[in-house]
Structure 1
Amino acid sequence: MPEDKAVENECRPRRGRPVQIDAPTREAMVLDAVGELLGQCRLEDVSMAAIARKAGMSKRTLYALFGSREELLGATFARIGRTIFRPLAPEDHALPLSERLRKLLTVNAMPQFEQAPLELLRAVVAEAPLFPGIAEQFDCEGRGSVITYITAELIVAVDNKEIVLHGMEPGQAAELLCDMVMGNALHHLLTPGAERANDLYEEKRQRRDRAVEIFLNGMRPR
């Protein structure tokens, strides 16, 4: 066969069944689609049909990957939680405790949710009676994940005699610090007019730093 003919045959699209996408890639495509929809729509409008359309696949394929909308949204919130709150990198463990806590309590930005974080929380609360699994996953992978990270760091700090918990359990102390930093979400949920979503970064950073300082002042060995 002449060389130019062989090249032509190699470049020509092959007939037959399309290339199959492996399950992990397909799942990632679905979670990407849900993440985009959550940033654009009300939670109640993020249906399995809407997700399937956004992901470019059939509902049958979607249900083969996730057994229910509740399961799918739970997986999405788990993924969001791993992005917003992250554990320490290996090199961070050598930092002073105050710096380690600040890093754990830093909220990493997700642009698609910056415009409506409280609206999403309100929607999750509204759906909780019918779909408690969604609310539980939302709490577990958000606030719950950072409390878990801080608890582990406080246990290390106690062992290294950096702090004394004065009778508190590490998990209780971690929850106290988390609440000091994050404040009372109920106030913002009940008073929509009090929100100022995008201009509070510096204010939140200052609150985090003050909370960590106050917390550690109360926990230092006497």
Structure 2
Amino acid sequence: MMVLDAAAELLATHRLEEVSMAAIARRAGMSKRTLYTVFSCREELLGASFARIGQTLFRRLTEVERQQPLAERLRTLLTLNHVPCFEETPLELLRAVVTEAPVFPGIARQLDTEGRGALIRYVGEELTAAAAEGEADLKGMRAEDAAELLVDMVIGDTLHRLLIPEDSCSTPAERDLRRDRAIALFLDGVRPR
């Protein structure tokens, strides 16, 4: 949809407070009035934009991928898909959403639900399947709780990264190493004995 494309382009190149309905309408080549017939407010539009970004970053496994061993399924799920326009801005965008959350809670909720929340759901689905097949013993934990634990291990401390970005895993190789170590530790803990 061209409106969400326009919003994504602006989000990647401008501060969040500069991404107004007027700016999005101009970028999409339509009037603000027309834009308001599609989205009733900025919060709704930005929420839809973040949902779309989350769906690009995280996705469910394909049927072919579901046939792989659990470690490989988790590695696939926990590898962020490439979104070139957001390579340089994820922390700045997250800071802006946190800043606007008290005024526009729907934007923050949508980002959490369609980003981290979606990833937790997808990992939880795989852990449920793995437990049913005897690949994992969740030790009485709900699959969603175990998934949240694993996602947090892979992603790390977001608050620390927001405050001191230079301390975080910044290269793809560092992120992949952290992901692989987290999966290995997690699977060792849920290995059927």
**Shorter-chain-normalised TM-score: which range?**
over 0.9
- Between Structure 1 and Structure 2, how many residues are aligned? 193
Q: What are the equivalent positions in structure 2 for 1:15-26 lying under 5 Å apart?
A: none
Structure 1 equivalent of residue 95 of structure 2 = 122
Amino acid at match of 1:145: A
Structure 2 equivalent of residue 58 of structure 1 = 31
Q: What are the equivalent positions in structure 2 for 1:205-216 lying under 5 Å apart?
A: 205-216=176-187
Q: What are the equivalent positions in structure 2 for 1:130-141 lying under 5 Å apart?
A: 130-141=103-114
What is the DSSP-based 3-state SS (H/G/I as helix, E as strand, rest coil) of the residue aligned with 1:86? Answer: coil
Residue deviations 1:93-142, cap 9 Å, x none?
A: 11000000000001011111111110000000000000000000011111
Residue deviations 1:48-100, cap 9 Å, x none?
A: 00000100100111000001100000111111011001110111111000000
Structure 1 equivalent of residue 158 of structure 2 = 185
Contact 2:121 2:144 (C-alpha < 8 Å) held by counterparts: yes
Structure 1 equivalent of residue 22 of structure 2 = 49
Identical-residue share of aligned pairs (%): 60
Change (3 A) 1:195 1:53: farther
Q: Distance in 2 between matches of 1:154 and 1:174?
A: 7
Report the Cα offset of residue 195 of structure 1: 5.8
2:174 matches 1:203: yes
Report the Cα offset of residue 193 of structure 1: 4.7
Contact 2:50 2:111 (C-alpha < 8 Å) held by counterparts: yes
Structure 1 equivalent of residue 122 of structure 2 = 149
Q: Distance in 1 between matches of 2:150 and 2:177?
A: 14
Structure 2 equivalent of residue 37 of structure 1 = 10
What is the DSSP-based 3-state SS (H/G/I as helix, E as strand, rest coil) of the residue aligned with 2:192? Answer: coil
1:171 maps to which of 102, 127, 144: 144
1:94 maps to which of 67, 74, 78: 67
Larger Rg: 1
Q: Distance in 1 between matches of 2:165 and 2:57?
A: 23
Q: For structure 2, which runs of at least 5 residues remain unmatched after alignment?
A: none
What is the DSSP-based 3-state SS (H/G/I as helix, E as strand, rest coil) of the residue aligned with 2:64? Answer: helix
Q: What are the equivalent positions in structure 2 for 1:67-78 lying under 5 Å apart?
A: 67-78=40-51
Change (3 A) 1:155 1:30: same
Amino acid at match of 1:161: G
C-alpha RMSD of the superposition: 1.1
Q: Distance in 1 between matches of 2:4 and 2:35?
A: 11
Residue deviations 1:145-201, cap 9 Å, x none?
A: 10000111111011101110111111100000000000001111112454675xx10
Change (3 A) 1:42 1:77: same
Q: For structure 1, which runs of at least 5 residues remain unmatched after alignment?
A: 1-27
Change (3 A) 1:196 1:220: closer
TM-score scaled to structure 2, two decimals?
A: 0.97
Change (3 A) 1:42 1:174: same
